[in-house]
Structure 1
């Protein structure tokens, strides 16, 4: 493995692949947990599709439509290969949010499950759908308590033993609020030992570490393209084929139909029965290109570089008087913080105005997590592969400048 300096130099050169940093040379972009910037290869893939291959998929036999269909299905195969599964187990969605809503509705309407279980540190996209569908359908909903930012396995074990069964347990692999790497592998084993179904929200996890769906103990996995260098409006739901075949579609319309009768309809095989309407063809192609870009660099380099950035940021931020860091020992790529003398919104605005540093402020779509921490808002700096140690220095200097200005 390369040294800290060598990795930093490598990714500093790679930053040239991202046009936004040429257009905005003073930008220090530290909001990668919300969305990542796009390399030229992804942008060009989108342009190339619309210039050379724009047609609807699976609907016509003329050459342009066949080329568009081939590109779409090649993109599905690229995604499947990237996470270690079969193409028929890949459903394209608009993002993690739609993937999780699809699951909550479809699993709930299946009539097979009596309860849903979700930890309190979840993003609202992986909390509210299960909560609301449970209420709508008269199912039980069990939130799992957390300790600061952590999840204890004994709390999981107690709930999966006592809940109404069969049940579905859904959780994140890496929290977007604190960057806590949750013990989802151990949780999945507990869930399956109690006869449950396990769903993994991998929106933050997939950009940071390799994942082998077929080799994992996971039943369903969801992630978004825009958090791993891909376009917005494209996401993935991966699911075991036998489970996908058992549940009903989330949306109805064109493309997902087999035969329509006056009183009943049969649906296309998976994954197509879950892809109603015209899909985001360009987005799928752009996502595939983004995954190729990440694979070409290697997860080993990316993870180590972000680990180095996280460690450096913690060391330098922790010595600023009045600044509190809300991170666990195993946090990765995300640091949330607040200062005793300035509101997070004010601090984030001053960082942008004075130093060109972009961080997120607010509850980070995780109000239950912040409630446990005893705060209503935090600043969050999140790193990805094009960030450098110079960005960390600018963040630290920017906070110090903001505090001087505010005082």
Structure 2
């Protein structure tokens, strides 16, 4: 069946799956291994997402010089120990991300009504909601079908999404590390792609320039073959945020060692470049979609070049580059202590914090608000009172 026909028919798939699929109930934090996939409905909505188990193990990050398409920043290869986790079966979709975007309106109404106010005592549970779109037609240039991956968000916005989802559900979610992402993409392989070394097979697994050029936009998630661990679109559709700063020499710092994935994280110390993984719908070369291929985010000003605001948005990109950027989430089987969660969710740099504060406090763009399991009921009560 052609990709085009799948795209036309795929609107029925989520409905069909909801009726006939049996997915395990969400595991509890006491579980010690990620052994079963599970599906969770986002509280207060009818939107669900699926998580796939990724068993722990060891692998070599990067690629050998003999691999076609190899780049210098993929070496030397380093042996990484990875703890078990769950990863999003698909990239985060507009159906999911729109719920997060709606927080801007919700928090604005709460602030006007003087309820659920952020204070110095509860600000740890506050999330910054992305500003309302000044040019929706640009953000949705690739489309806003609920099953298309959400695009154009900054890494900071993606991290705040994981904070919102975590506080809402009571389960810790975050972006993957670069090492976790490649480990999951490879799915136990050491080949150029998760399906082997033949780039001619890529169109079966990835939505990239060769098969996307007629549409030149994102594809609905899940229309291509998954890797052997059940993850879709790891090789294309949108490039995906990870937690790491991009450094072409990062691997060399660990040469000859076996390293825990958590110790391999290159925590950001500057605005750019950051790491993106996975290729996208506009990636022209199959080699750039390889499991080891690394993409770096560009200059912040360049990636926000069409944003008329000052300072530029901490939540959105406003250039064509942003149309190729999305993300997926992970859930570690053993979460870190609660005191460490903020490190995975909040801005890495004071510059981002200042931009967020200015946009919210001085310009009224974006909002802050409290997120907890009681939020859906508070939204319902506030809507009934209007």
TM range (shorter): under 0.3
The normalised TM-score by structure 1 is: 0.25
In terms of fraction of residues, the more helix-rich structure is 1
Greater CA radius of gyration, 1 or 2? 1
The normalised TM-score by structure 2 is: 0.26
